[in-house]
Chain A
Amino acid sequence: MVTQNRNPARLKGIWRGKDQGRVRRLGEYLFVAPAVVFIVLLMIYPLIYNLYLSVRDVNVGTFLSGNAPFVGLQNYEQVLGDPTFRHSLLISFVFTGASLLFQFIIGFALALFFHRPFPGNGVMRSLLLLGWLLPLVVSASVWKWLLDGDYGVVNYLLQSLGLVHGRQYWLTNPDTALGGVIGANIWLGIPFNAVLLLAGLQGISESLYEAAKVDGAGGWQRFRYITLPQMRPVSLTVLLLGFVYTFKVFDVIFIMTGGGPATATTTLPILTYNQTFQFFTFGTGAATATLLLIISLTLSVAYLLLIRREEAT
């Protein structure tokens, strides 16, 4: 936080009296007003409207007439009692958990690798970011091609190594489709993890390592007793943020498998989409969306509390 060092005497010269101070305040509120109005109208109001939809029976017929009957919590009961919802919830957690685990481990390893300077380090780090910036649609299309059953490179490599026999249709086989989209998503998330963890590594005081060296600690011991404990807060931040961002992934799955085959890769965001835009059951779609939001919000709050605590210390 930058504290503003204003000269009170000079301020008085400009703002004579309290009234003008108030005018100034008002000016500042006017500066922020358009953005606040936008956020209220296009984000907060729609979220509230979503709650309204979730307690009404909105389908194709009632949608057009605009007076859908109030049904209380019936949509929620229907969603929660539906095995496809519980299945999607499970798929969402498996997708998020597996993605995070591998992204984090690989990201951590890369962060350690890039921590110490070497020729070419900067260029390589920039290139790493490129994978993060590429439109998700592009990456997802490329992975669909890489995992293609007939002529995909992944099959060719695995066959050459003798790991796979015959053609594997990764994305159309219900047993492997989830693994396929997780693989692509791990690739996508590595730069995010590596960059944030690298920033964490660079925040560790060099003197800790020097002191440990003087005391005769070896490389592994320095990693085990300095790097790991010092990286705990950053790691927790990265994992929580990663969870929130991974749980809401839609593009990658939608493009690679469309949630299928059948429901093999139907995560909660995909289920919400299907209910709303495929089956036009806006009420149940809104109810599922609300449940998705509650999960995301809980973890977001956990994340915000965490960074608040870090800022305080």
Chain B
Amino acid sequence: MSTLGSLHRRGYGKTLAGILIMAVYLFPVYWMVVTSLKPYKEIFAVPPKIFPDPATFGPYISTVINDPDVHRAIANSVIISVGAMLLTLVLGVPAAYALARLRLRFTGVVLLALLASQMLPAINLSVPLFVLFKYIGLINTYPGLILADTTFVLPFSIIILRPFFLGIPGELEDAAMVDGCSRLGAFWRVVLPLAIPGLLTVGALALVLVWGEFVFGLTLTISNNMQPITVALNRFIGQYGTQWNKLMAVSTTVALPVVLLFAGAQRYIVSGLTAGATKE
């Protein structure tokens, strides 16, 4: 009791409570990883085993390592995520810069429209996009999916990036232009390097969000071999039946890049998430 008391006085009581809360909260994630490491029979053990004993990589070997369907779906997701991220940066960075420098009524209208577009249900775009893409042959193609996925990362990217450019004093560009830089040159050589934290935030967030995208992947593809891994995962639920260990192995694999990116670029992602969720 006295040790507990002293722990409490130093603030460790809250730490203990916090660990308990986090254990409950993160249990689903833990259970996903544990299930993915169990042999088939073990997932039906009653009572369920908290630790995988014996642990096996079998579920990974038969899916992520050896199943060409999984390979294809992951490759699709990589192509779509990287494509949409690059398109977002190419369109969003100059736009955010101009919106930070232009002081017109125009800016307010555009920003408001961007905020509103964040709240658009994905299904509202996927119905007309399906019909339009069908007419112009973009259904079931990478460009089609990259364009569609960019619709939900571009608006918030501009919202997140604009404050970064607002924080860069205009004198810097003016000085560069006195020294003979063109406007584009000043933007490219002076402003852009200073905005790198902003670019990293947007790049990381765009990757994470597009990697997890589901609705466009579901509605704008026709054949299985064009589906991103998120849609393929849903297909596997039916395909694997009760082989939850395999399903959790694929789930863990889909989650892994997000976790790694988060661990590596946490500072950037967190600032972006809160900025994207509310106002700037």
Q: Do A and B come from one complex?
A: yes
Residues of B within 8 A of A130 (CB): 26, 29, 259, 262
Cβ-defined contact, A42 with B97, below 8 A: no
What 0/1 readout, one digit per residue, does chain B (5-46) give for beta carbons within 8 Å of chain A? 000001110110111011001101101100100000001101
B234 at the binding interface (Cβ < 8 Å): yes
Give the residue of B92, B115, B254, B274 whose beta carbon is less than 8 angstroms from that of A195: B274
A199 at the binding interface (Cβ < 8 Å): yes
Give the residue of B25, B121, B150, B211 whose beta carbon is less than 8 angstroms from that of A128: B25
Tell me, rounded to whole Å, the shortest Cβ–Cβ distance linking A298 to chain B. Answer: 11
B125 at the binding interface (Cβ < 8 Å): yes
By beta carbon, the residue of chain B nearest A290 is B124
Tell me, rounded to whole Å, the shortest Cβ–Cβ distance linking B151 to chain A. Answer: 5
By beta carbon, the residue of chain A nearest B125 is A46
CA distance A126 to B117 in the complex (A): 28
Residues of B within 8 A of A66 (CB): 135
Cβ-defined contact, B244 with A132, below 8 A: no
Tell me, rounded to whole Å, the shortest Cβ–Cβ distance linking B201 to chain A. Answer: 14
B237 at the binding interface (Cβ < 8 Å): yes
Which residues of B come within 8 Å of A, CB atoms?
10-12, 14-15, 17-19, 21-22, 25-26, 28-29, 31-32, 35, 43-44, 46-48, 90-92, 94-95, 97-99, 101-102, 110, 112-113, 115-117, 119-125, 127-132, 134-135, 147-148, 150-151, 154-155, 158, 166-167, 169-171, 174, 177-178, 183-184, 187, 208, 211-212, 214-215, 218-219, 230-231, 233-234, 237, 242, 244, 247-248, 251, 254-255, 258-259, 262, 266, 269-270, 273-274, 277-279
Cβ-defined contact, A307 with B278, below 8 A: yes
What 0/1 readout, one digit per residue, does chain A (248-276) give for beta carbons within 8 Å of chain B? 10110011000000000000010011001
Residues of A within 8 A of B132 (CB): 45-46, 49
Give the residue of A32, A150, A255, A304 whose beta carbon is less than 8 angstroms from that of B112: A304
A28 at the binding interface (Cβ < 8 Å): yes
Given contacts A5-B169, A28-B98, A146-B28, contact A156 B214 (CB under 8 A): no
Given contacts A34-B94, A141-B237, A156-B46, contact A136 B119 (CB under 8 A): no
Cβ-defined contact, A132 with B273, below 8 A: yes
Give the residue of B102, B154, B215, B259 whose beta carbon is less than 8 angstroms from that of A32: B102
A241 at the binding interface (Cβ < 8 Å): yes
A76 at the binding interface (Cβ < 8 Å): no
CA distance A135 to B255 in the complex (A): 7
By beta carbon, the residue of chain A nearest B178 is A14
Across the A-B interface, the 5 shortest Cβ-Cβ residue pairs: A135-B212, A248-B121, A35-B95, A31-B98, A46-B128
